[in-house]
Amino acid sequence: MATVTSAGLAKLRNYVETNWKYVSIRTDADAELFRLEIGADARATVLSDGTVNPLILQVVLSGDDADVTINDVVGGIKVYDQASGGNSLVEGTITNFTFTDTDDELTIKQTIEIPEIV
φ and ψ at residue 9, rounded to 5 degrees: -65, -40
pLDDT at site 117: 59
What is the DSSP secondary structure assignment for residue 6, as one 8-state letter?
H
pTM value? 0.91
Instruction: For the beta carbon of residue 4, count every other beta carbon within 10 angstroms.
Output: 11
The closest of 104, 24, 114 to 63, measured between CA atoms, is 104
pLDDT per residue rounded down to tens, the chain (118 residues)? 788 888 888 888 889 999 999 999 999 999 999 999 999 999 999 998 777 889 999 999 999 999 999 999 999 999 999 999 999 999 999 999 999 999 999 999 999 998 765 5
